[in-house]
Amino acid sequence: MPTTLTPDICVIGAGSGGLTVAAAAASFGVPVVLIERGRMGGDCLNYGCVPSKSLIAAGRHAARLRHGAGFGIADVEPDVDFRKVMQHVESVIAAIAPNDSVERFTALGVKVVQEEARFADARTVTAGDFVIRARRFVIATGSSPMTPPIPGLDDVPYHTNETIFSQKKLPEHLIVIGGGPIGMELAQAHRRLGARVTVIEAMKALGKDDPELAAIVLKQLREEGVEVLEQTKVSSVEKRGRGGVRVHVEGAEGPGAIDGSTLLVAAGRSPNTQALELDKAGIAHDRSGIKVSRKLRTTNRRVYAIGDVAGGLQFTHVAGYHAGLVIRALLFRLPASEKRDTIPWATFTDPELAHIGLTEEAARTRHGKIGILRWPYAENDRAQTERKTSGFIKLVTGRGGRILGVSIVGANASEMMNFWSLALAKKMRTRDIAGYVAPYPTMSEIGKRAAITHFTSATRKPVVRGLIRFMRLFG
């Protein structure tokens, strides 16, 4: 006979968002059931952020060895043992995994059910031998790699982010379908580790970012030897030789074919909703995910959806942000609604690309007259010492110098975005940024220098100069 559980909260999905909700609720003594059909930690720990950044770090070390001459240190071609590189990736996952484990969450007081969850009706979920009737449900099932309808794809071996980190041999020629953040990050990492790499993008590579900044990243990748084909459609794929693949393309120069040893499909992600039987619970959804209000509530008032499965921005930190909003609502009945304009994102190429708020184009559409403030890395002393002078910061400002958006391309852009996330959340203005004291020398000074340029025009105004002359009369 099935076992009936009646917790206060039932969380479906043990990725970043689901784990945060479960841990927070349990810490307040709230009965929680957590259901996960796969590996604890979800996509981020096992197939996404953690392994990709570990591989990127290995590639970065290899690149540094090749470019020491500027510091008076001989350039060296690194001897890359790809099997050991992947052992490094696995060891990082293993080091973090205990924080997300069944044992840890059981110790916190969470009932963990390792089965697939399905809604039986608006108030009930089944999972294996369990029937769960909770006061509230939180769906945090994330997303999975999307497989585009390319003729022949089902007949060739290919990787997604869920399988690429299991390989033990460096690809001879990696072909990447998709020029978004995942595709470009993995393309550069594999190139730096010694693989030949070709990226095929149907539209513009890094097309969701400010094109002015994206161009700097693409220039660097091409200089490192990554072939990036934009405005190029994949028409079909087929096997070639023993384990190889041939990709047929249609580009500006007409049809062509690219032969490679390994194929990576990084063409977007799809929300994990298929197995949930959402219709039985009266939960509206479509191909983009579950429909939610700004409070992250679904069309079933008992059910919330957070993270990738709720559509919108698909980042681990967004799932964590959503989890915090839902906890406020579930435990404390506090008003909480999503504010997407204050959510940052970053692409961990080298140079890095980070953004928050409105882009220049979006700001002009919404506000009309805006200000654009820039400062280059090349005018930063720390960047000069590190020989990391490529890139700049771009501030988009509105009336009164209010900061509407920030984009950074360059070294440590993702780390700098922490500061700007706070600045936008607190609705700061350029005068606030210009007034803070930054330690010298740091790369983050570029933000303050950009903000100061907002006041440059005042130095040329006759009324300001006249006031200063008047004040000088008093000694």
Amino acid at 323: A
* Boundary residue ending a domain (278, 312, 340): 340
Closest to 251 in 3D by CA, of 230, 278, 272: 230
If asked whether residues 383 and 447 sit together in one domain, one would say yes
* CA distance linking residue 67 with residue 72, whole number of Å: 10
- The residue range of the domain holding 408 is 351-460
Q: Rounded to 5 degrees, what angle do the CA atoms 184, 308, 9 make?
A: 150
Nearest to 189 by CA among 353, 348, 414: 348
On whether residue 127 sits in a domain, the answer given is: yes
Cross-strand partners of 405? 357, 396
Same structural domain, 215 and 285: no
- Same structural domain, 157 and 207: yes
Please state, in angstroms and rounded to a whole number, the distance separating the CA atoms of residues 442 and 48.
30
Q: Tokens in use for 153?
A: 């794809």
Q: Which of 35, 43, 34, 37 is nearest to 15 (CA)?
A: 43
Report field, pTM of the whole predicted structure over 0.75? yes
- Locus of tokens 């149907």: 202
Q: What residues are paired with 5 via a beta bridge?
A: 132
- Would you call the peptide bond into 7 cis, given omega within 30 degrees of 0 as the criterion? no
Distance in angstroms (rounded) separating the CA atoms of residues 396 and 212 = 13
At how many degrees (to 10) do helices 181-192 and 211-223 cross?
A: 20
Same domain (yes/no): 7, 138: yes
Angle of CA points 44, 47, 49, to nearest 5°: 40
- Count the Cβ atoms, other than its own, within 10 Å of residue 248: 17
Residues contacting residue 25 through CB under 8 Å, at least 6 positions apart: 8, 9, 32, 327, 330, 331
Residue 68 lies in a domain: yes
- Residue pair 306/319 in contact by the 8 Å Cβ criterion: yes
The half-sphere exposure of 361 on its side-chain side, counting CA atoms within 13 A, is 5
Residue 18 included in any domain: yes
pLDDT given for residue 475 in this prediction: 67
What CATH number is given to the structural domain containing 387?
3.30.390.30
The answer to whether residues 283 and 311 belong to one domain is yes
DSSP 69: G
Q: 143: closest CA among 284, 42, 53, 280?
A: 42
CA distance 153 to 148: 9
182/52 same-domain check = no
Per residue in 330-376, pLDDT (tens digit) is 999 998 889 888 999 999 999 999 999 999 999 999 999 999 999 99
Q: What's the distance, Cα to Cα, between the start and end of the chain in Å?
A: 92
Regarding whether 237 and 290 lie in a shared domain, the answer is no
Residues in the chain, pLDDT under 50: none
Token pair belonging to 101: 């484990």
Q: Are residues 376 and 398 in the same domain?
A: yes
Same domain, 52 and 111: yes
Residues 78 and 197 in one domain: no
How many CA within 13 A on the CB side of residue 318? Answer: 24
Residue 135, token pair as written in the block: 């006061």
User: Residue 375 falls within a domain, yes or no?
Assistant: yes
> Does residue 468 lie within any of the structural domains?
no
Of 227, 245, 267, the residue that ends a domain is: 267
Residue 24 and residue 137 share a domain? yes
How many residues does this entry show for the chain? Answer: 475
Whether 44 maps to a domain, the answer reads yes
Domain total in the chain: 3
Is 426 a member of any domain?
yes
The CATH number for 159's domain is 3.50.50.60
* Domain annotation covers residue 471: no
**128 in the same domain as 45:** yes
| Residue at a domain's end among 248, 267, 286 | 267
User: Measuring CA to CA, how many Å separate 430 from each of 143, 406, 450?
Assistant: 38, 12, 9
